[in-house]
A and B are shown apart, each in its own frame.
Chain A
Amino acid sequence: MSAFLRLLSRNRLALGGLIVLVIVVILALLTPVLPLKPPNVTDTPNRFLPPFSEGAILGTDHLGRDLLSRLMWGTRLSLAVGFAAAVIAATIGAAIGIIAGYYGGRTDNVIMRGVDMLMAFPYILLALAIVAALGPGLMNALIAVAAVNIPFFARNIRGVTVGIANKEFVDAAKLAGMSDAKIIVTEVLPNVIPVIVIAMSTTVGWMILETAGLSFLGLGSQPPRADLGSMLGEARSALITNPHTSIVPGLMILVIVMAINLLGDGVRDALDPRLKSGALSRPMPATMVSRTGPIPQPEGCDLLAVRDLKTQFHVKDRVYKAVGGVDLSLKPGECVGLIGESGSGKSVTALSIMGLVASPPGVITGGAVHYRGEDLVGASYEVLRSLRGRHVAYIFQDPQATLHPLYTVGDQLIEAVSSHRRIGRDEGRAHAIDLLKQVRIPNAESRIDSYPHELSGGMRQRVGIAMALANDPEIIIADEPTTALDVTVQAQILTLLDDLRRDRGLAILFITHDFGVVAQLCDRVAVMYAGRIVEKGPTDAILNAPAHPYTSKLMACVPELGEGRRRLEAIPGLPPGVDQLPQGCAFADRCHRVTEACRERAIPLEPHGAERSVRCIHPVEAPRTEAAQ
Chain B
Amino acid sequence: MAGYILKRLLSAVPVLIGISVIVFLIMAMIPGDPATAILGSFATPENVAALNEDLGLDKPLVQRYFIWLGNMLQGDFGRSFALNRPVLDEVTERFNATLVLAGSAFVLCTVFGIAAGVISAANQYGLADKAITFFVLLGISIPSFFLGMMMILVFAVNLRWFPVSGMWPIFGDRTIWVLLDHLAMPATALAVVATGVVARLSRSAMLEVLRQDFIRTARAKGVHERRVIWGHALRAAMVAIIPVLGLQAGFVLSGAVYIEMVFQWPGVGRMLVDAILRRDLLLVQGGVVFVAACYVMFNIMVDVAQSLLDPRIKT
Contacts and interface: CB of A to CB of B under 8 A. Distances in A.
Contact of A282 (B19, B122, B149): B122
Interface stretch (B48-56, B108-116, B174-182, B270-278): B270-278
B18 A213 contact: no
Given A396-B217, A415-B221, A451 B19 contact: no
B149 A133 contact: no
A258 B239 contact: no
A378 interface: no
A236 B262 contact: yes
Interface stretch (B65-73, B77-85, B183-191, B290-298): B290-298
A113 B253 CA distance: 23
A119 B249 CA distance: 12
Interface in B228-278: 228, 232, 235-236, 239, 247, 249-251, 253-255, 257-258, 261-262, 269, 272-273, 275-277
A561 interface: no
Contact of A389 (B15, B137, B222, B277): B222
Contacts of A283: 210-211, 215-216
Nearest to A216: B145
Interface string A237-280: 00110010011001001100110011001000000000000011
A492 interface: no
B315 interface: no
A356 B219 contact: yes
A129 B290 CA distance: 13
B137 A261 contact: yes
B311 A453 contact: yes
B284 A385 contact: no
Interface string A76-115: 0000000000000000000000000000000000000110
B173 interface: no
B276 A131 contact: yes
A203 to B, nearest CB: 11
Contacts of B225: 285, 381, 385
B157 A240 contact: yes
Contacts of B210: 282-283
A367 interface: no
B314 to A, nearest CB: 11
Contact of A254 (B146, B219, B236): B146
Contacts of B275: 132
A547 interface: no
A123 B142 CA distance: 19
Interface stretch (A49-57, A180-188, A398-406, A438-446): A398-406
A117 B15 contact: yes
Interface string A294-323: 000000000000000000000000000000
B312 A403 contact: no
B141 interface: yes
Contact of B216 (A125, A217, A240, A396): A396
Given A120-B296, A124-B257, A243-B153, A232 B145 contact: yes
Contact of A130 (B26, B228, B291, B292): B26
Contact of B138 (A118, A133, A258, A281): A258
B222 A254 contact: no
Binding site of A, secondary structure by majority: helix, strand, loop or mixed? helix
A394 to B, nearest CB: 4
B248 to A, nearest CB: 10
A405 B273 contact: no
A154 interface: no
B23 interface: yes
Contacts of B121: 282
Interface string A118-160: 1111111110111111101000000000000000000000000
A116 interface: yes
A402 B216 CA distance: 8
A131 B257 CA distance: 14
Interface in B24-71: 26-27, 29-30
Interface in A218-235: 218-219, 229, 232
Contact of A128 (B164, B272, B295): B272
A121 B22 CA distance: 10
Contacts of A279: 211
A403 B311 CA distance: 14
Given A216-B258, A240-B153, A389-B222, 18 more contacts: A116-B15, A120-B292, A122-B251, A129-B284, A132-B27, A133-B30, A209-B143, A239-B152, A246-B149, A254-B142, A282-B122, A285-B219, A388-B221, A390-B222, A396-B217, A404-B214, A405-B236, A406-B310
Interface of A: 113-114, 116-126, 128-134, 136, 205, 209, 212-213, 216-219, 229, 232, 236, 239-240, 243, 246-247, 250, 253-254, 257-258, 261-262, 265, 279-283, 285, 354, 356, 358, 381, 385-390, 393-394, 396, 398, 401-407, 415-416, 419-420, 451, 453, 464, 467, 470
Interface of B: 14-15, 18-19, 22-23, 26-27, 29-30, 121-122, 124, 137-138, 140-143, 145-146, 149-150, 152-153, 157, 164, 204, 206-208, 210-225, 227-228, 232, 235-236, 239, 247, 249-251, 253-255, 257-258, 261-262, 269, 272-273, 275-277, 279, 281, 284-285, 288, 291-292, 295-296, 299, 309-312
23 contacts: A118-B22, A120-B299, A122-B295, A128-B273, A132-B276, A134-B29, A239-B152, A240-B164, A246-B146, A247-B150, A261-B141, A279-B211, A282-B210, A385-B224, A387-B222, A388-B221, A389-B220, A393-B220, A394-B217, A396-B213, A405-B310, A415-B221, A467-B221
Pairs A-B, 9 closest by C-beta atoms: A124-B254, A117-B18, A250-B146, A389-B222, A122-B250, A258-B141, A388-B222, A401-B213, A389-B221
